[in-house]
Amino acid sequence: MEKTIKSIILAAGKGTRMKSQTPKVLHKIFNKELLAYVIDALNNTGKAEENYIIVGHCADQVEDFVKKTYQNAHCRLQSPQKGTGHAALQAYDDLKGFCGEVIILNGDIPLLTTETLNKFIEEHRKNNNALTVMSAILDDPSNYGRIVRADNGDLKAIVEEKDATDEQKKIKEINTGVYLLDWEKVHEAFLHLDSNNAQQEYYLTDIVKWTIDNGLKARSYVLENNEESFGINSRKQLAEAAKILQNRVNNKLMEEGVTIVDPETTYISPDTEIDSDTIVYPCTYIEGKNKIGKDCKIGPFARLRGGVEIGNSVKIGNFVEIKKTKIKDHTNVCHLSYVGDSELGSNVNIGAGTITANYNHITKEKFKTVIDDNASTGSNSVIVAPAHIGENASIGAGSVISKDIEANALGLTRAPLKILKGWFDRMKK
């Protein structure tokens, strides 16, 4: 029977170098929090039963996010903050009597994938390890703890840079700070942590030493792609991680049959699905979770803000913004339009400059617009939600629509045209 996995995610740090009032783990890439990338990677393995998030700096903000977003995640406060070992210890009482596996990792590593986590778990189980450390091979391992192996390949020690000999400093395999434990065998290590060091903190690496000293099997698992261990500590690193994700997502989509005209200027969230033969034009930004069908044309200069479902053969024109909207097959949303909180049927034509006015700034409420099959809106029209535009209905150019328009009807609001002859000559005088 497969063991159950629970996780401890370290998210208590301030992130001083971010120079921000926002906790480091709540900074975003593609409008998704760093912490969310880590929790999703764990949950998508299908093996994570519960996740314990260790919070500290701006704990209320992090806890509020976790409660709103995840049912299987619980926050535990670390106060004061006395090292990584002390942080993980905050979930110790929750794990009393637990007989499965515990994975410990940081909340600021958004590039770690579900595929890698599954391989990590598989390797741990295949070798019947008590503890497995995720490691990476770096050309320049400076400032990282080195992985020292025994002759049989087992983990012998993790030696920090300041304690390493000249020979050990030549080792290029480093500790990434991700651990997988057989909790029943290793949990006692947390009761033997001490702060007998210069920083007077409790370190997670001490559980590795305890495991080895007690004759239990400890090994390292080497990452296939070093980028996955990349942690975020500054705005520069946040941008670097976004660029790595951009390339990763674009390359994957192009391999699956999506045309991305200029990958350098196209940003697509890893939570977005796009079917083959769709073309994404330059300077398009797609964030959040979206689904785009086949044979679509997106952009240039388009923005999808999440919660967007697009059918087949749909055109999203240049300078169009869409969010929380479902669009059926063969519909066009033309340039300079905004469509939010809406449902568009098939063969709908949204004229240039159309706005769905979905937000009441006084009540903070958002309302829905529904446009049925074969309907159309003229250029520079505004639909004030909630509104329902019926099948085959048309909206005249320049109209402001504040009521439902029945099927087959024309909705038109337009002041009578006045022509003042000779106006130019009179103004010139």
Q: What is the Cα–Cα distance from 291 to 273, expressed in whole angstroms? A: 5
Q: Which residues is 56 bridged to in the sheet?
A: 58
Closest Cα partner for 76 from 6, 132, 22? 6
Q: How would you class 236 by CB atoms within 10 Å of its CB: exposed for 0-12, middle for 13-18, buried for 19 or more?
A: exposed
Angle between helices 59-69 and 34-43 (to 10 degrees): 40
218-222 and 131-137 beta bridge pairing: parallel
At 232 the three-state DSSP class reads coil
Question: What SS3 state is found at 15?
Answer: coil
Q: What is the pLDDT of residue 187?
A: 96
Residues of the chain with CATH 3.90.550.10: 5-229
Nearest to 178 by CA among 88, 44, 95: 88
pLDDT at 199: 75
Q: Using CA atoms, how far apart are residues 352 and 110, in angstroms rounded to an integer?
A: 38
Q: Where in the chain is the domain with CATH 2.160.10.10?
A: 235-411
- Residue 232 burial (C-beta neighbours within 10 Å; 0-12, 13-18, 19+): buried
The whole-angstrom separation of Cα 145 and Cα 160 is: 4
Query: Known catalytic residue: 187?
Result: no
For residue 344, what pLDDT is reported? 98
Q: What integer pLDDT is reported at residue 1 of this predicted model?
A: 64
Question: Residue 63, SS3?
Answer: helix
As assigned by CATH, the class of the 235-411 domain is: mainly beta
Cβ pair 37, 2 in contact under 8 A: no
Ranges in the chain, pLDDT < 70: 1
CATH superfamily, domain 5-229, is Spore Coat Polysaccharide Biosynthesis Protein SpsA; Chain A (3.90.550.10)
Pairing of strands 349-350, 146-149: unpaired
Query: How far apart are the C-alpha atoms of 334 and 318, rounded to whole Å?
Result: 7
Query: 355: closest CA among 331, 327, 321, 332?
Result: 321
293 near 278, Cβ under 8 Å? yes
Q: Where are the alpha helices (DSSP H) in 105-172?
A: 114-126
Looking at residue 374, its amino acid is N
What does the DSSP assignment read for 175-187?
EEEEEEEEHHHHG
Q: What is the pLDDT of residue 153?
A: 87
Number of Cβ within a 10 Å radius of residue 49: 12
Q: Could you tell me the two tokens for 140?
A: 């320049």
Catalytic residue among 27, 330, 335, 388: 335
Q: Which residue has the tokens 């600021």?
A: 108
